[in-house]
Structure 1
Amino acid sequence: HKVLLLALFLGTLLYAYAEAAVRLLLPARRKAVGGELVLLTGAGRGLGRATALEFARRQSRLVLWDVDTHGLRETAAECERLGATVHTFVVDCSKREEIYGAAEKVKKDIGDVSILVNNAGVITAADLLSTQDHQIEKMFEVNILAHIWTTRAFLPTMMDNNRGHIVTVASAAGHFVTSFMVAYCSSKFAAVGFHKALTEELSTLGKDGIKTTCLCPVFINTGFVKNPSTRLGRILEVDEVVKELMEGILTNKKMVFVPSNQRFALLLER
């Protein structure tokens, strides 16, 4: 049994190296996103804002959601300065009714969303018994349930056209665990599982034109946590993460680890 597991591990490791070598020698073709209708949740600050700006530079049409009105306006103004068409909606992604209501307005008044970026997320760093009930509920409502509600809202048209892209912003905490973040890690494990299961289901249904990407960075310096530190690795800056995310979207990469060595750490853990 141990010999079989070792052989499986070595085979997987060799495959990963071979895949990396092929990608190095034959860079993946990048798709154009100009003119695509891109909806981003949590667009008012941090990674959401930076991702919106990257799409704006590529002349995508933008639909930006956030619960923070001021941050949303600032992101929209920056994107418009880059020449993008922008529509904004103040949406609390912890509330299913608000998500479905805003989605209906988008579909009726703007058009069909072809790229959905589920980026909104919340975090509370505390041991399990110190984390309050409402904080646990909020993390699950925003970090995973919102992904499901938005996908259910916009997937039917993508299915009809067999065309689209669904991006799940998860975390390294969706693969590796860390103390004092039990509820957060649990919600991010759920987000990774959602991405994997959705990807498999779309494949089973023959909807190969709908692409999926899951972003799993170690913790990012977005200001949500003061003086952040973690055993998962160094704290990342937003710009380096959004660069890897956009590369993953443009090349239809299913799983984007930042830094990329997480992939090998995951293999070793398994």
Structure 2
Amino acid sequence: MDYSIDFFLNILRRSLFHPSFASLFLAFIFVQGIPVNSYLFIWSSVYTGSVFFVWFLGYMTKVSRNGRKSRKIDWDDEIVLITGGARGIGLLLAETLSIKNVTIVVLDIRKPEIEHPNIVFFECDVSKYDQVQKVAKEIIAEVGHPTIIINNAGVVKGKTILDESEEEILSTIGVNLLAPFWITKTFLPEMVAKNHGHVVNISSALGFSSVAQIADYCATKSGLLAFHEALRHEINARYNASNVRCTLVCPGQVETGMFDGVSYKYPFFTPTIAPIEVVKKIITALDKNETSDILTPYYVHLMPLLRALPGFINDLGYSIMGVDDAMKTWNDTRSKPKNQ
């Protein structure tokens, strides 16, 4: 069992930091006859109030984005399009959703290693707008209009800015950032017209804070954050399609092979996560038909706050955690032939 900080924080979230526990604790203090003006009762009230306040903020965020009532989707009516669905998170998503008898459309430059009657593969370089437009006509004619699009395709080169070639930089930008633009521009109009659909953008923890030897990847993931936020606001404020949901996924290091060899000094605080954990969170957001921000593991929630700290504190943290040395041990296993 992985006894990382996430394990213990998850226990606290379900116990001490849960509104039900906080309510029972304050009630227990009260029935003990402890005076309401005593320090114990006052601090117990502060604790309970704080737990409820944080819970209320989360609830209001959910309501503001989804309305008070959010109907679960009927999977029989959905068509899911996944870019980069030949391996990693994309492939696992396709496999898992196919069990629900959902029609899955996979866009990739390579064919998935699995075959399933519910999974339809179309070869496409999603970084090229003309290819996306061409394959879209085939998808609509053969399968129908996708109602859920998952912008998952991603590449990493693992080189410094000076070592990376122009072609490699353009490839990373094309797959990681331009592809979500092309896919969304192509398939969103039908969702807006029917006021039904879901766009999932898979960014990264590195979209919040960059590290050495991966500048192009970090830049594209940061750009994808901005793209996602603007898209969500345009859907609500320009297209008046509030039932088209937008989910942002920002995972830390996922065990998909993309970052093999990368390690940190203190994995207790920055644990890697299994792909299935990310997939379960995505499917839950889709199933509930809710706009969500999925940040996992827990340390990712703190990363947006880093930019508000003085620069020397950030640099000190990077130094202590050995962040800028992490990519030195990276192994490019995903681009190598299987017999190597």
Q: TM-score, normalised by structure 2?
A: 0.67
| Residue 43 (str. 1) matches residue 85 (str. 2) | yes
3-state SS of the aligned residue for 2:155? Answer: coil
Q: Could you tell me how far apart the structure 2 residues matched to 1:162 and 1:128 are?
A: 42
Task: Pick the aligned partner of 1:116 from 133, 138, 149.
Answer: 149
Q: Is the 8 A contact 1:99 1:149 kept in 2?
A: yes
Task: Pick the aligned partner of 1:150 from 176, 183, 197.
Answer: 183
* Cα pair distance change 1:67/1:166, threshold 3 Å: same
* Cα pair distance change 1:134/1:54, threshold 3 Å: same
Task: Pick the aligned partner of 1:171 from 187, 191, 204.
Answer: 204
Residue 34 of structure 1 and its aligned partner are, at CA, apart by 3.2
Matched letter for residue 192 of structure 1? L
Q: Could you tell me how far apart the structure 2 residues matched to 1:264 and 1:137 are?
A: 30
Q: Could you tell me how far apart the structure 2 residues matched to 1:141 and 1:201 are?
A: 23
Which blocks of at least 5 consecutive residues in structure 1 are unaligned?
Answer: 1-12
State the match for 1:237 in structure 2: 274
Question: What does the per-residue CA deviation read over 1:217-260, in whole Å, with 9 as the maximum and x for residues that have no partner?
Answer: 01212123331225892222211121122223323133111114
3-state SS of the aligned residue for 1:154? Answer: helix
Question: What does the per-residue CA deviation read over 1:171-223, in whole Å, with 9 as the maximum and x for residues that have no partner?
Answer: 11111222211111000011111110000111102210110111100121212
Matched letter for residue 206 of structure 2? A
| Residue 253 (str. 1) matches residue 295 (str. 2) | no
**Bigger Rg, structure 1 or 2:** 2
Q: For structure 1, which segment, 118-127 or 258-267, has the greater mean C-alpha deviation from structure 2 after superposition?
A: 258-267
**Count, aligned residues:** 247
Q: For structure 1, which segment, 252-261 or 119-128, has the greater mean C-alpha deviation from structure 2 after superposition?
A: 252-261
Task: Pick the aligned partner of 2:231 from 186, 193, 198.
Answer: 198
3-state SS of the aligned residue for 2:75? Answer: coil
Task: Pick the aligned partner of 2:172 from 139, 142, 145.
Answer: 139
Matched letter for residue 259 of structure 1? P
State the match for 1:209 in structure 2: 243
Matched letter for residue 131 of structure 2? E
Q: Could you tell me how far apart the structure 1 residues matched to 2:196 and 2:166 are?
A: 39
Q: Give the RMSD, CA atoms, in angstroms.
A: 2.6
Q: TM-score, normalised by structure 1?
A: 0.83
Q: Could you tell me how far apart the structure 2 residues matched to 1:94 and 1:169 are?
A: 15
Residue 31 of structure 1 and its aligned partner are, at CA, apart by 3.5
3-state SS of the aligned residue for 2:92? Answer: helix
Question: What does the per-residue CA deviation read over 1:37-57, in whole Å, with 9 as the maximum and x for residues that have no partner?
Answer: 111111111100111122112
Matched letter for residue 101 of structure 1? K
Which blocks of at least 5 consecutive residues in structure 2 are unaligned?
Answer: 1-50, 62-69, 309-340
Q: Is the 8 A contact 2:199 2:247 kept in 1?
A: yes
Q: Could you tell me how far apart the structure 1 residues matched to 2:203 and 2:129 are?
A: 19
Q: Could you tell me how far apart the structure 1 residues matched to 2:177 and 2:104 are?
A: 22
* Cα pair distance change 1:166/1:184, threshold 3 Å: same
Q: Is the 8 A contact 2:161 2:213 kept in 1?
A: yes
Residue 106 of structure 1 and its aligned partner are, at CA, apart by 0.8
Residue 95 of structure 1 and its aligned partner are, at CA, apart by 1.9
Q: Is the 8 A contact 1:228 1:235 kept in 2?
A: no
| Residue 102 (str. 1) matches residue 135 (str. 2) | yes
